[in-house]
């Protein structure tokens, strides 16, 4: 008899989603998080629930369709956390992608999204360009507007955790995963909680430790194959501009 069906390491959006799915499926599930819910990458993203426009260029149509479908679901079931925002693409004389190429891409984007609300796009009339606060007007040839969705990533993660807990999932914060031993029919997990070393057994262990996933995987005995992982990072620059277009 195991303590849990599933133990999840990491309280970011992925761990939260796994806990919610496990709990919704009627499984006894525990999530352990070392710092705070959404304390890692899931509070530092660009905060977009995007439809994957940029994946069109690499021909990943299935991914774009799935992203747009997920975006539509988020907009429907969490309107207080996810909302559509206008995006503006300025096209200058030297811009590599021409307006017709962008419009063709956006048309395919709308098609893959089933022409659902939020997939429309169009040109901003020249007379409205000066209202786009901060835009450089010299050599500007076109401005194209489309929509994508924005969220508060940390609030979204906490909302999924709350939903998981309401479905019977358990959450321990702070609790730091220290190691796991794989057994014939499951796994024995060791973590540190309130100064105590605790051991719990489960059928399944889910490593949702984000950028720490490789470190966590190295703590599993006997050693498991660890795929090569590249870490990515980005910089967000927020400027106080407004647009009335």
Ligand X SMILES: Cc1cc2nc3c(=O)[nH]c(=O)nc-3n(C[C@H](O)[C@H](O)[C@H](O)COP(=O)(O)OP(=O)(O)OC[C@H]3O[C@@H](n4cnc5c(N)ncnc54)[C@H](O)[C@@H]3O)c2cc1C
C-alpha distance from residue 197 to each of 8, 169, 191 (Å): 17, 21, 6
Chosen residue from 21, 24, 48, 135 binding ligand X by CB under 6 A: 48
Q: Which residues pair with 142 in a beta bridge?
A: 91
- Give me the least distance between CB of 202 and ligand X, in Å please: 15
CB atoms within 10 A of CB 244: 7
Q: Do you find a cis peptide bond into 221, omega within 30 degrees of 0?
A: no
- Interface pattern 184-223 for ligand X (x via CB under 6 A): ------------------------xxxxx---x-------
Contact 16, 213 (CB under 8 A): no
Per CB under 6 A, does 32 bind ligand X? yes
Contact segment (CB under 6 A) with ligand X among 40-48, 75-83, 86-94, 126-134 equals 40-48
How many residues bind ligand X (CB under 6 A)? The answer is 30
Nearer to ligand X, 32 or 142 (CB): 32
Per CB under 6 A, does 176 bind ligand X? yes
Contact 56, 64 (CB under 8 A): yes
Per CB under 6 A, does 67 bind ligand X? no
Contact 14, 151 (CB under 8 A): no
Nearer to ligand X, 41 or 142 (CB): 41
Per CB under 6 A, does 166 bind ligand X? no
Nearer to ligand X, 34 or 119 (CB): 34
User: How far apart are the C-alpha atoms of 241 and 6, rounded to whole Å?
Assistant: 46
Contact 32, 177 (CB under 8 A): yes
- Classify residue 103 by its DSSP letter: H
Nearer to ligand X, 142 or 206 (CB): 206
- Give me the least distance between CB of 79 and ligand X, in Å please: 18
Answer positive or negative: Cα dihedral of 170, 46, 40, 213.
positive
The percent helix, strand, coil of the chain (3-state, each to 5) is 30, 30, 40
Chosen residue from 8, 13, 23, 112 binding ligand X by CB under 6 A: 13
Per CB under 6 A, does 148 bind ligand X? no
Interface contacts to ligand X, rule CB under 6 A: 9-15, 32-35, 39-42, 45-48, 176-177, 208-212, 216, 232-234
């Amino acid at each position: 008899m195991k303590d849990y069906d599933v133990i999840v390491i990491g309280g970011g959006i992925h761990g939260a989603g796994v806990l919610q799915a496990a709990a919704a499926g009627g499984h006894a599930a525990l999530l352990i998080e070392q710092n705070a819910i959404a304390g890692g990458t899931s509070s530092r993203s660009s905060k977009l629930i995007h439809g994957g426009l940029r994946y069109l260029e690499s021909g990943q149509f299935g991914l774009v369709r799935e992203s747009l479908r997920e975006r539509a679901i988020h907009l429907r079931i969490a309107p207080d956390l996810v909302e559509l925002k206008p995006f503006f693409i300025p096209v200058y004389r030297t811009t590599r992608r021409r307006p017709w190429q962008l419009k063709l891409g956006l048309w395919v984007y709308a098609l893959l999204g089933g022409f659902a609300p939020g997939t429309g796009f169009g040109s901003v009339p020249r007379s409205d360009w000066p209202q786009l606060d901060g835009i450089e007007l010299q050599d500007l040839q076109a401005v194209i507007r489309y929509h994508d969705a924005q969220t508060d990533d940390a609030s979204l993660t906490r909302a999924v955790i709350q939903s998981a807990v309401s479905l019977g999932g358990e959450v321990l914060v702070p609790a730091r995963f220290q190691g796991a031993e794989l057994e014939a029919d499951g796994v024995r997990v060791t973590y540190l909680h309130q100064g105590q070393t605790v051991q719990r057994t489960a059928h399944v262990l889910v490593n949702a430790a984000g950028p720490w996933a490789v470190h966590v995987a190295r703590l599993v005995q006997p050693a498991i194959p660890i795929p090569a992982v590249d870490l990515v990072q980005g910089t967000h620059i927020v400027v106080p501009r407004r647009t009335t277009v």
